[in-house]
Amino acid sequence: MQNNHAGWNFDNSYSRLPGIFYKNQLPTPVREPKLIIYNVSLAATLGLDANALKSKDGAAVMAGNQIPEGAEPLAQAYAGHQFGHFTMLGDGRAVLLGEQLTPQGERVDIQYKGSGRTPYSRGGDGRAGIGPMLREYIISEAMHGLGIPTTRSLAVVETGEEIIRETMLPGAVLTRVAASHLRVGTFQYAANWGKEEDLRALADYAVERHYPEVKASDNRYLSLLKELINRQAGLIAKWLHVGFIHGVMNTDNMTISGETIDYGPCAFIDTYDPATVFSSIDRDGRYAFGNQPYIGGWNLTRFAESILPLLHDDEDEAVKLAEGALSEYSDVFQAHWLAGMRAKLGMMNEEAEDKTLIADLLNMMQKHRADYTNTFRALTFDQLEEIDLFKTEEFTQWHEKWQARLGRQEGAKDAAHELMRKSNPAVIPRNHRVEEALEAAVEKGDYSVMEKLLKVLSDPYAHSEEQSEFCTPPAPSKLPYRTYCGT
């Protein structure tokens, strides 16, 4: 146990839930912890002393070798539909250290990933490789920079030990920060293996922690469902706005808070194509880029099924209430998506034909294999000579309609341009740039490539000179890019 001079301020409300939801579990100490990357700005937001955590003791804490005072480490139980198949799960290689109460009055989970075996490990070693942990650090911090709700990464520690996967890999522990780790799968677990009072305790906890405004409603559990539908619809719309593919949208990877979680086989599209799949394990395209809104609705239906006993004493009435709420998902998603796409095109008001105008542009982009990010960036700065698509007759006709549309709205042209600047990133964590940074770090111990990438990704809407070299798509390749579920 370590004293809290580093600024730790733990409470552990999750451990006050019924015991079915977790097992007390200390992380397994590692041989030689070495802090290799550390999020100083996030530490400050959390109220932590950056210098104290950079020390040898700090590395020991981030590896799980020392436990800060006030923490009560545990492994969480949950279930999930993985590629449509339901199974019992749980934190197989993660430990929730506790909940940090920040100077801003927020409550956030501090979790180790790769911290050793737990009762839910199902035969695994509970460890993680350095490459996947650094990858999660890069992508989660990039998502934060893009303004998308996400878990964040506080640190990665090298363990001084090797793990066995396809080959021997250097081991690492990631410290993850989240609004909470409550998942749709947590509710599925309660519905399948708990009593109704366990399910109710979990739902009340979720309301108190994430949606306290619904406590006074006539049916707080129906209100919880509606709030989650809205938040998840908004999140998935934001993914599509920047070309993000989660890659493994299992129900255990959908949070109740509405944050993006689990950066395993995720990636960003270069060429626009809704059928794009990067994940090596998604052989049927279940979680393809364009399928994500539908999977969101499917996952929310599983959540609704889990809380049916709380919605109404009569099962038929409960089903009707759930179906009524779920029937709104498609419209809610469309509203979020359209609002974001309008912003990407500088539209500050709404017109009936906007959806067609947006769809026509996306169809042209797909047909001409245009780069998603760079197309919108070029439109933002009126750089019509940069993209091959812009040289076509059909684009010229579309551009005239778009300009006429912008001309009909009230407000200066500068305001529309500024809206586009704030809505179209200059940079995303392009797959070849991420791989380049990981290769330098893992193979050569050179973190400068990753640090430079992180710097340009921290403010993707800056459109600065130093970002320009990171805007280039990868060179053409005969082999499709593949991601792996290493995290």
Strand partners, 271: 371
Write phi, then psi, for 171 (nearest 5 degrees): -85, 155
Q: How far is CA 10 from CA 18, 181, 204, 342, 377, in A?
A: 20, 16, 21, 42, 43
Average pLDDT on 198-210 reads 98
Residue 479 has pLDDT above 60, yes or no: no
In this prediction, residue 457 has a pLDDT band, given cuts at 50, 70 and 90, of: very high
Residue 478 has pLDDT above 70, yes or no: no
Average pLDDT on 321-325 reads 98
Which pLDDT value is given to residue 169?
85
Average pLDDT on 244-255 reads 96
**Helix 315-326, helix 292-306: angle, nearest 10:** 160
Distance CA 66, CA 10 (A): 15
**pTM score, two decimals?**
0.96
Greatest Cα-to-Cα distance within the chain, rounded to the nearest angstrom: 69
Which pLDDT value is given to residue 228?
98
pLDDT in tens, 87-133: 999 999 999 999 999 999 999 999 999 999 999 998 889 999 999 99
Which pLDDT value is given to residue 4?
61
Amino acid identity, position 145:
G
Which pLDDT value is given to residue 91?
95
Residue 241 has pLDDT above 60, yes or no: yes
Dihedral, 178, 110, 99, 206 alpha carbons, nearest 10? 30
Strand partners, 268: 244
Closest Cα partner for 150 from 113, 178, 110? 178
Residue 71 has pLDDT above 60, yes or no: yes
Token match 């600024």: residue?
Answer: 7
Which pLDDT value is given to residue 79?
97
For 76, the token pair is: 């969480």
3-state secondary structure 320-363: HHHHHHHCCHHHHHHHHHHHHHHHHCCCCCCCCCHHHHHHHHHH
Average pLDDT on 322-338 reads 98
CA angle 232, 237, 240 (to 5 degrees): 130
Distance CA 289, CA 309 (A): 34
Residue pair 486/129 in contact by the 8 Å Cβ criterion: yes
Residue 55 has pLDDT above 80, yes or no: yes
In this prediction, residue 487 has a pLDDT band, given cuts at 50, 70 and 90, of: very low
DSSP 411: S
pLDDT in tens, 399-454: 999 999 999 998 788 999 999 999 999 999 999 999 999 999 999 999 999 999 99
Enumerate the H helices of 243-328 as residue ranges.
Answer: 292-306, 308-311, 315-326
Distance CA 227, CA 331 (A): 14
Q: How far is CA 305 from CA 14, 203, 209, 255, 321, in A?
A: 23, 13, 21, 16, 11
pLDDT in tens, 364-396: 999 999 999 999 999 999 998 878 999 999 999
Residue 158 has pLDDT above 50, yes or no: yes
Average pLDDT of the chain is: 94
For 6, the token pair is: 């580093």
Token match 């890069």: residue?
Answer: 138
What amino acid positions are annotated as catalytic residues? 252
